[in-house]
Amino acid sequence: MGAQWKAKHKDLAANAKGRLFGKLAKDIMIAARHGADPAANSRLRLVVEQARKVSMPKDTLERAIKKGAGLTGEAVHFEYALYEGFAPHRVPVMVECLTDNVNRAASDMRVLFRKGQLGTSGSVAWDFDHVGMIEAEPVAPGADPEMAAIEAGAQDLEPGEDGATVFLTDPTDLDLVSRALQGQGFNVLSAKLGYKPKNPVDPATLNAEQLEEVETFLAALDANEDVQNVFAGLAG
């Protein structure tokens, strides 16, 4: 599971668009610190393309860019925090937060992990690889993801959603491979650093009730206002 965890069930994914817009707005604001022009800011360009793909309102997108670039007079300050632990039934989890209140985020994580187990720094990270994750789709039918991965210098690839492919890279090669994939006939939808589990739990080892408990736990994490990404050691 190279890409971050996403709710698979319709009932868990319902009403998630607002939360998605909030997460993207944070990404946009942070990227815009390096310039408000997407044409001259590759990181901002990628996030803006993601936002447009999910139909983020234009005024919301533009407001986030201006706010992040300091054009509105408002101070934007988010701190990064990484939490690790276990979902129910010992499924390892890495949780990335971007927060304007570290104490609130820490308190929320302690509460949310009561149904699992909150670990200390390094207690779960050893079981994940820190990698670059590039989601891309072929521009034309017949484009070969495996050949594109080899030519662009990706380390591995996995099937993505809706015909897309997730290309995995060394963290330092994220931007280089992203640009190279465009030359191999692929449109890059997103590019970010993330965590890939080394020994993911096979869902087949869990019964339906146990799997539902894991999904509900992950959904609760994902719904938190400070949580930006959830990476779960769950196969498939």
| CATH for 120 | 3.30.70.980
Q: Is residue 174 part of a domain?
A: yes
Q: What is the mean pLDDT of each run of 10 residues along the chain (236 residues)?
A: 54 63 91 89 85 88 92 84 96 95 96 95 94 90 89 92 90 90 89 92 94 94 93 89
Please answer whether residues 230 and 221 qualify as being in contact, where contact means their C-beta atoms are separated by less than 8 angstroms.
yes
Co-location of 30 and 136 in the same domain: no
Q: Using one digit for the tens of pLDDT, what is the confidence trace for 4-34? A: 656 555 444 445 677 888 899 999 999 998 8
Is 184 contained in some domain?
A: yes
Res 11: pLDDT: 47
Q: What is the pTM of this model?
A: 0.84
Are residues 120 and 218 part of one domain? yes
> What was the pLDDT predicted at 2?
45
- Domain-located, residue 3: no
Which pLDDT score, from 0 to 100, does residue 39 have? 87
User: How far apart are the C-alpha atoms of 64 and 26, rounded to whole Å?
Assistant: 8
113 and 27 inside one domain: no
What's CA 127's distance to the chain center, in Å? 18
Are both 183 and 134 inside the same structural domain? yes
Task: Flag whether 212 is in a domain.
Answer: yes
Same domain for 52 and 141, yes or no, is no
Task: Quote the pLDDT of residue 12.
Answer: 44
Residue 6 in domain: no
- Are 104 and 192 in the same domain? no
Token duo for residue 43:
């990181």
The total number of structural domains that make up the chain: 3
Q: What angle do CA 146, 149, 150 make, to 5 degrees?
A: 90
| Residue 5 domain flag | no
- Kindly report the number of other CB atoms within 10 A of residue 188's CB atom: 22
Contact 97, 118 (CB under 8 A): no
pLDDT of residue 6: 67
Q: Are 89 and 68 in contact (CB under 8 A)?
A: no
- On whether residue 32 sits in a domain, the answer given is yes
Residues 50 and 166 reside in one and the same domain:
no
Assess whether 92 and 185 both reside in one domain: no
Together in a domain, 45 and 158: no
The pLDDT assigned to 15 comes to 57
Domain extent for 138:
128-197
Q: Are 124 and 85 in contact (CB under 8 A)?
A: yes
Burial of 212 (0-12, 13-18, 19+ CB in 10 A): middle
